[in-house]
Structure 1
């Protein structure tokens, strides 16, 4: 496997880990009586702070998958992973960093750090898109 494939699989795995954590958290809240009922708001606004952060971290990964996973899939499908391999692990590190900071805190500093991690991912994907356009247009 090459770096692009490994990162694509790792990204999907990270989404599933967060989803499992979210399902476990919500089950715990319901089973212990800390949350009445089985309906949770999709944005996590109806659970304590950590539950809200976990909900948003998982949703943010899914939201970002469209442009990160999409470009990785294009590179893999067109045998263009030479374009994406070099920065793939850095992108995944930034993705993990953004999620972990999101889980830890929503302080002003944490939000700025998360944004920096997002900008790294955005910049890498934008760079990849320029390279892919240059290759195919």
Structure 2
């Protein structure tokens, strides 16, 4: 499996893992009658701060998937993974780190670190887009 294919699959799997975690906690809340089955909002607004951060971390993944996942998919389909392979693992690590920091804290330091991880992803995405367009 190429680094690009691994990173794309990892990105999708990470998004799924965050969703499964959120739904497992929601199931527990319903089964313990802490929240009615129809008492949830997409942003988990009436739940714990952790659940609200989990909803945002998952949404961040979904927001980035069409952009970054799309670039990886273009590279795979076009046979241009030489453009994306060198930074694929770094991208996936930055994506995971951003989510983990988001889950852990919203302190000023955490937000700065989280943005740094996102900035790394943006820089990688720009490099990929440039490389793919230049190779066309």
The residue aligned with 2:8 is 8
Structure 2 gaps of 5+ residues are none
- Alignment map for 1:15-34 (pairs within 5 Å): 15-34=15-34
2:29, 2:64 → 1: CA distance? 28
2:83, 2:94 → 1: CA distance? 18
SS at match of 2:135: helix
For residue 53 of structure 1, report the CA deviation from its aligned partner.
0.9
Coordinate RMSD, CA, aligned? 0.9
Return the TM-score normalized by structure 1.
0.96
1:107, 1:29 → 2: CA distance? 27
Runs of 4+ in 1 over 2 A off after TM superposition: 36-39
Q: Is the 8 A contact 1:30 1:37 kept in 2?
A: yes
SS at match of 1:106: coil
Return the TM-score normalized by structure 2.
0.96
2:120, 2:96 → 1: CA distance? 12
The residue aligned with 1:83 is 83
